[in-house]
Homo-oligomer: A and B are copies of this chain.
Amino acid sequence: MTPRFDGWAEKVRTTFGRQGMMQALSAEMTDLAPGRCKIAAPFPDRMRQHHGYAHAAVTFALGDTSAGFAALTLMEEADEVLTAEMKINLLAPAAGERLIGRGRVIRPGRRLTIVTAEVWAEADGREVQVALLQGTMMPVPG
């Protein structure tokens, strides 16, 4: 998969830096390549469910966002990215010290980009997959 212009990585990182949701989660983009993006966040103190596990929406945020930025690496320079639809299967309760989203483009396209993402929880140095996502990203004028 080939980006459409030089400076794609800088654009993606700049856009990530402007995203309030990622700041609210203290998330970092820890890896970026054409069609791939990895985001890590400390386990949230507040955004939990009643069980003490991360709320499904936090897990969703990491999966959806890593997938969205993976898609953005392959879009035109002027485009931003929006989620058209996303499906998440929760595989295990999310507990530990860190959550990691790994997004990946399955099929890039002018109108629709099909993406997938995995979310992993890191506890005591061990990683457990807590979610699998599959969805569609759309370019929108930036």
A98 contacts the other chain (CB 8 A): no
The answer for the CA separation of A60 and B65 in the assembled complex, in Å, is 13
What is the count of identical protomers in the complex?
Answer: 4
- Determine if A129 and B107 form an interchain contact, defined as CB atoms under 8 angstroms apart: yes
Contact of A114 with B136 at beta-carbon distance under 8 Å, contacts A57-B57, A89-B84 already known:
no
- Determine if B61 and A57 form an interchain contact, defined as CB atoms under 8 angstroms apart: yes
A47 contacts the other chain (CB 8 A): yes
- Determine if A48 and B61 form an interchain contact, defined as CB atoms under 8 angstroms apart: no
> Which B residues are in CB contact (< 8 Å) with A138?
111-112
Seed contacts A57-B61, A89-B135, A107-B129; 11 additional CB < 8 Å A-B pairs:
A19-B48, A20-B44, A20-B46, A20-B49, A21-B47, A57-B64, A82-B93, A84-B112, A89-B134, A91-B107, A112-B138
Of the A-B pairs whose beta carbons lie under 8 Å apart in the complex, a sample of 20, sorted by A's number, is A15-B50, A19-B55, A21-B47, A21-B48, A21-B55, A21-B57, A55-B61, A56-B86, A57-B65, A82-B93, A84-B90, A85-B85, A85-B88, A85-B90, A85-B135, A89-B114, A89-B136, A107-B129, A116-B132, A116-B134
